[in-house]
Every structure is written in structure tokens, then in C-alpha cells.
């Protein structure tokens, strides 16, 4: 369903260690309405919920709720270093349009509700 690059997995493990090393924490990938293109990605450390899709990738547990799963199926989460810091990047084969910020998208079946970009 969702994959993680080795670099992203290492960064998630590092963040979990920095937050006390709670082995129950997992990386949650979710989708909300909004953003320049209509839908926005979100990432958070969280505990599994009963209805989550649970994926083990590179030693990291990834959680995706059922609503978000239809938008992110086949996506890859990477971590990229940059001069002004780094960040997670999501490559989503379902996205037909994305925003320059990389965190907003739309699919062929779902436009979401676009907001004005700052």
C-alpha cells in the first residue's frame, strides 16, 4: 500500500528515539481536505487504531486510516535534506495535480476543496 525509503525510515526511527523511544509509536500518513490543490498530506507519530491499515516497512510501522488509504495507495514516503533543513516528501501515483509545496494534491476522482496559497 505505502512504502518508505531507507532514508525516511532512518529519520522516523531517529524522531521516535528523540521522543523517548516509545516502541508503540508509528508513522501515520493521512489526508485532509484543503491546500492549494484540494487535498493535503499529513504525517504524525501516533498509536494504531482498530480500523487502520498497518504496514511494516524498513522496521517502521506505517498507519493509514481507511479514508486516506484510497488516496495514497502506492505512495512512497522519502526524506530529503536541503540547505534550509530537510523534510518528508510523498510521491503519490494517484495525484494528477500537485502544489509547488509538495503537500497538496488532487486525484482524478477527488478534487477536494482548494484553498488560496500564501
Please state which CATH number belongs to domain 2-107.
2.60.300.12
Q: How far apart are CA 27 and CA 34, in angstroms?
A: 21
What H or E segment, with its residue span, contains residue 10?
Answer: helix 6-18
Q: How far apart are CA 30 and CA 89, in angstroms?
A: 13
Q: What is the per-residue pLDDT for 88?
A: 93
- List pLDDT tens digits, range 41-77: 899 999 999 999 999 999 999 999 999 999 999 999 9
pLDDT value for 83: 74
The overall average pLDDT reported for the chain is 86
Question: What pLDDT was estimated at residue 117?
Answer: 54
For residues 93-105, average pLDDT: 73
- Give residue limits of the domains in the chain: 2-107
Question: Which residue in 33, 72, 32 sits closest to 55, CA to CA?
Answer: 72
pLDDT score of 96: 75
State the Cα–Cα distance between residues 64 and 111, nearest whole angstrom. 20
Nearest Cα to Cα of residue 69 among 6, 24, 2: 2
The pLDDT of residue 113 is 59
- Supply the pLDDT for residue 23: 81
| Best CA proximity match to 97, nearest among 62, 76, 71, 73 | 71
Of the CA atoms within 13 Å of residue 36, those in its CB half-sphere come to 10
> Residue 20: its pLDDT value, please?
87
Contact criterion met (CB below 8 Å) for 78 and 10: no
Question: What is the DSSP pairing of strand 39-46 with strand 26-33?
Answer: antiparallel
pLDDT of residue 105: 74
**pLDDT score at 95:** 85
Residue 91: the pLDDT is 92
Amino acid at each position: 500500500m505505502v512504502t518508505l525509503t531507507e532514508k525516511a525510515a532512518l529519520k522516523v526511527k531517529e524522531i521516535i528515539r528523540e521522543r523517548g523511544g516509545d516502541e508503540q509509536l508509528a508513522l501515520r500518513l493521512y489526508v485532509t481536505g484543503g491546500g492549494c490543490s484540494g487535498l493535503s498530506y499529513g504525517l504524525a507519530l501516533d498509536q494504531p487504531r482498530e480500523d487502520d491499515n498497518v504496514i511494516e516497512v524498513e522496521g517502521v510501522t506505517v498507519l493509514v486510516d481507511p479514508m486516506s488509504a484510497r488516496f495514497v495507495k502506492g505512495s512512497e514516503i522519502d526524506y530529503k535534506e536541503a540547505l534550509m533543513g530537510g523534510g518528508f516528501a510523498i510521491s503519490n501515483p494517484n495525484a494528477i495535480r500537485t502544489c509547488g509545496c509538495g503537500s497538496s494534491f488532487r486525484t482524478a476522482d477527488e478534487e477536494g476543496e482548494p484553498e488560496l496559497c500564501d
